[in-house]
Amino acid sequence: MAISSNTAKKKTVLITGASSGIGNATTRKLLQEGYRVYVAARRVEQMQDLVQRGAIAVPLDLTRDEEIVAAVEWIVVECGSIDILINNAGYGSYGAIEDVPVDEGRRQFEVNLFGLARLTQLVLPKMRENKFGKIVNVTSIGGKIYTPFGGWYHATKHALEGWSDTLRLETKPFGIDVVIVEPGGIKTDWGHIAADNLKKTSGTGAYAKAANKAAASMHEIYSGSRLSAPDVVAATILKAVTSARPKTRYHTGYMAGPVLWLRRWLSDRMFDRIISSMA
């Protein structure tokens, strides 16, 4: 059962990381369905195409609490509440665990988990009051698996999976749905950025040979045609948002299903060998 278009027009959505990729594609689909959409990112100027389509741009750095508070207060004043929160912002800072500065690890947790958590805390009171809310957390199949040099990234996504499960249990009595969306390989700049960071962090030193090989492989994959378009994930998010009874989890995109199947049924050592051979 889907939410009617008349209901959609009354619902207010806040989506983070909307300046490109999955966030941009999802916003376009939500606007087409008649939602009132606030788009958030650090660089507002990169969301002007969405503003021209009818979205409202909000400056938001998830590492700055004052910006998180200001964004929520602004939307609540204008609309009364935030009915749907799509936590899409995040990044992958790759490098050997020995090489990545702990401060960079902390920053990745600030963006991928703590900023997201703070934003969620602030929208929950109105959702509880209205006895309605949908929170969609975009994790990754990287929240279920692991790859060489992605330790900090995987740590944030594994944490977000468990955090989301707990949130779902706590908020269910108040009519709030918490949904996890786990993309596989998606054609965005994410892979190139992660690969460049990997070369910068571990391209010399003890891990250089494996790191440079992995970075080259990432560039090749993200320059090719095998990955899924961001619209594939956007369609899944829209399905979760419009469903009266959404699933707790959706996986979508290139190799998401096969990889999760392998992780579920293979031993750690077997999975290690497969992942290592692909790096």
pLDDT tens digits, residue range 91-109? 988 999 999 999 999 999 9
pLDDT tier at 8, thresholds 50, 70, 90? low
Catalytic residue (choose from 35, 94, 146, 153): 153
Percent of the chain whose predicted confidence (pLDDT) is above 90: 93
Lowest-confidence segment of 40-44, 172-176, 230-234 by average pLDDT: 40-44
Record the tokens describing residue 166, joined without a space: 């707990």
Q: Could you tell me whether strands 36-41 and 249-252 are parallel, antiparallel, or unpaired per DSSP bridges?
A: unpaired
Confirm if 90 and 201 have CB atoms less than 8 A apart: no
**Within the chain, where are the H helices?**
5-10, 21-32, 48-53, 65-79, 102-109, 115-130, 151-171, 190-202, 208-223, 230-242, 256-265, 268-278
Q: Does the pLDDT at position 55 exceed 50?
A: yes
225 phi/psi in degrees, rounded to 5: -115, 5
Record the tokens describing residue 225, joined without a space: 């045609």
pLDDT the model gives residue 277 = 85
Q: How far is CA 37 from CA 18, 29, 91, in A?
A: 10, 10, 22
How many Å apart are CA 229 and CA 77, to the nearest integer? 35
153 labelled catalytic: yes
Q: Does the pLDDT at position 245 exceed 80?
A: yes
Predicted structure pTM score: 0.94
3-state secondary structure (DSSP) of residue 249: strand
196-221 mean pLDDT: 96
How many Å apart are CA 193 and CA 41, to the nearest integer? 17
Q: For residue range 101-131, list pLDDT tens digits in order.
A: 999 999 999 999 999 999 999 999 999 999 9
pLDDT tier at 4, thresholds 50, 70, 90? very low
Q: Does the pLDDT at position 35 exceed 50?
A: yes
Q: Does the pLDDT at position 1 exceed 80?
A: no
How far apart are the two ends of the chain, measured CA to CA in Å? 42
How many Å apart are CA 219 and CA 184, to the nearest integer? 16
pLDDT the model gives residue 9 = 58
